[in-house]
Structure formats: structure tokens, C-alpha cells
Amino acid sequence: MKIAVVGTGYVGLVVGACFAENGNTVVCVDNDAAKVRALEQGRIPIYEPGLEELVTRNRREERLAFTTSLTRAAAASQIVFIAVGTPSGEDGAADLTNVLEVAREIAGALDGYTIIATKSTVPAGTAARLREVVAEATTQPFSIVTNPEFLKQGAAIDDFMRPDRVVIGADDERAARTMRALYAPFTRTGAPIMVMDCASAELSKYAANAMLATRVSFMNEMANVCETFGADVDEVRRVIAADRRIGPAFLFPGVGYGGSCFPKDLRALAGLARRNGSECRILDAVEAVNEAQKSRLVARMKAYFASLQGKTIALWGLAFKPRTDDMREAPSIAIAEGILEAGGRVVAYDPQAIETARKVMDPRVAYADSAYDALRGADALAIVTEWNAFREPDFARMRALLRAPVIFDGRNLFAVEQMRAEGFTYFSVGR
């Protein structure tokens, strides 16, 4: 099929590259000419494992192209995916300005029947608004489809190529049939293609992220309770995870969630519900727990040192999760700010996110060239992101580099007994 993807951010690039990998002819559109030139030269603006190779191969085989001309791309395509940002407004609601502007421009370019599909995360009712906007701007036949993405950063390509499920919101059979055909090669192992009304599809993405965020905050609260009673959250988690009604996913405590999806989508869903007369007290609590969790590691440092004035803390990990360079609402930002506000100094290292971090973190944060360089002369280490490279370090080298063998582990990477045997003063979450 001939496909256009509007937006070359995280979602747009992954979607475009993966559709091209399956033999479709794809053009990705962005209004940032410098970004398009960089992509044409093979420079990828984000870090996602496997994405650069996928883009390079499909550009070479002429299945994937980049352009700034939405008009030409839309006119030549059977399906146009909208994958632009929907940032949170002041009230937490998703800002649909970009989505609606793109829809109007697509409408003006249509040349025959076209499916306009939203990949952007949008609130219930957006498809109806898009249908009105497009109908006002064209006499050409079209369908509006909601096709939410369920991609995990760090594993997005595998998620797209081998999805758990594909969700299609379509209000006419012609569009549903075309979308089923498009996704059929990705679901040969039996993953369901779920076709439903657009409003249900729109809500499904918010509901999924809200549930996952709830599990994270629930386990963080349980970890805090475990600390109160001297219990071990790992043992509690094992019991919970063994229940087939619950399962093990997203039950690991830590320093809170971040990223582009959970915080934004949780606020948007709660705000949408409130504006329509329905309270979301659980979601409000999930967000409150998450924000409080980001400060607990610093509070523990203050309790141990009595004062962080003049102390140097090494941070391992900056991105909100491993296998990405995404710093949006990363817990590391709040942790670094807490240390600096208390008079401490921060030296940070991350395998991928340092350049992104420089743009969003306090300029007083210093950056190291390696994990071990960050430890040199530091009073303690704080582990914030669970990169694989941090899981089996040289503990003897760590002790030699640190001013004192103190670790505040926000991701529970190591066993408590192991760290005692290695000679460290070791603090973790819920243990």
C-alpha cells in the first residue's frame, strides 16, 4: 500500500519504518526542513534500538522517503497516518491543535478516497471532530480511523512487528477492511485485530497506560509500607505476581515512572473525565504517589548524611527507562534538582541520554564519560535507571573510586546480602 505518516517523532518514525519493512511504500512528512534533511542523510534524531538500521535499509531499497510536502504525500497515499504531538495543556487535557491543523491540510490535498488514521494519542470524541474538519475542507470521499499505538520505548520495533493486539476504530466497513489487510502480515502468529467504534479505540490507549501506571504506583506504595514494617517488597511482589489474576508485569518498585506516555495520558484521561462530570480519584492518587516517589531517594540521602551540603552524588542513569534517550518527565530530573537544592553536587552518566539531558537538566549538573568516571571522588552513588550495563559492575573498582562505599539504589539492581558482603552501605526500595 501507499502510506503517508505525518510527524517524524518517536511514533511516526517507528510506524513509517516498520510499514516500509513489510513492503509498503511509505513517505514520512515533517514541517521541520532541517530534520527532514538529517533523516535523508541517515541521521536519526532519537535513540531506539534497531531503528537506524531499519530506516537505512528501507531508504536504500526505496520503500521509505522523507519530505516536507504534506500536500504531495497525502495526494499520493491510500492511508495517511497522523502521528503528531498532543502535549498536555495547563488543565492536563491533550492539545489537539496540531492534529486538527494537519487534518485540514490533508483534506485540502485529497485526490480520491483516502483513509485518515490517527496514531497520535487523542481523547474520545476526536474522530468525530476530525470528520467534521475534513468534511468542511473537501468533497472527496474519506474515512476517519483511530489506530492507537502500544509501543514500549526500547522495544518499539519488536512491539510493532509482533504486536500483542492491533486496535482499529472504524465506523465504516470499507476502512476496517483496508486496515485489516494492512495489519494482517503483522498478526500471522495469532495476535487479534480488534475492530471497534472510534471512541472505544481512543479510550483504549488511555485506559491501558492508566492501568500500567496504576500498577507502578501501587507497588511503590507497597514498597514504602514494606520499609515501615521491615518487610521485603521482593517477597511480597513474588506472591502477588504468582496470582494468575494479576501476573508479574509492571510490579517492580522504583523511583517513579516518567516518559512521554504515562504522565501525559494519565492527566489527559483524568481531565477528560472531570470535564464530562466523572471523577477519576484512582488516577489522581496514582499521579500523587508517583510524584512523591521521585523525592524519596533524596530524602533517604538527607537522612543518611544529615546534610547534602558539599556532598557529591554520582547518578547512574538519566533517561526515564533503559534503551532510550527520552528525558521527558524522567525521575532523574527531580532527583538531581533535589540534591542541588540541598547544596550537593551531581555527576551523572547515562549510556544514551546525556546529550538530551543537557537540554533539560539544571546546568549545574556535571556529566561523566563513563559509569566509573562518575564515581571518582563521589560521596555516594544513586542508581536511577536500570540499564543492563549497570547490573554486573566491578564492585572493587567502585569502592576504590567512591569516597565512601554508599549506594542508594532506586531500581533494586542488587541483592541486599550481596552488597553487604561487598562492603557497601546499601539502600534500596522497599527492602
- Residues 384, 399: Cα–Cα separation, whole Å: 19
- Of 83, 102, 80, which Cα lies nearest the Cα of 2? 80
Is 261 designated active site? Answer: yes
What span, in angstroms and rounded, lies between the C-alpha atoms of 7 and 30? 5
What sections of 230-256 are H helices per DSSP? 233-241
Tell me which residue of 307, 395, 319 sits closest to 350, measured CA to CA.
Answer: 319
Residue 368: C-alpha distances to residues 24, 330, 371, 375 (Å): 43, 19, 7, 9
CA 80 to chain centroid: 23
Q: Which of 28, 198, 261, 280 is catalytic?
A: 261
Asked if 401 and 374 count as a contact pair (C-beta separation under 8 A), the reply is no
| DSSP β-ladder status, 166-170 and 142-146 | antiparallel
Please report, for residues 131, 212, 234, 333, 412, the alpha-carbon distance to residue 239 in angstroms, rounded to integers and kept in the order given.
Answer: 48, 19, 9, 33, 18
Residue 7 to residue 119: CA distance in whole angstroms: 10
User: What SS3 class is residue 324?
Assistant: coil
Please report, as a single letter, which amino acid is at residue 254: G
* H helix intervals, 110-167: 126-137, 156-161
**Catalytic machinery residues:** 261
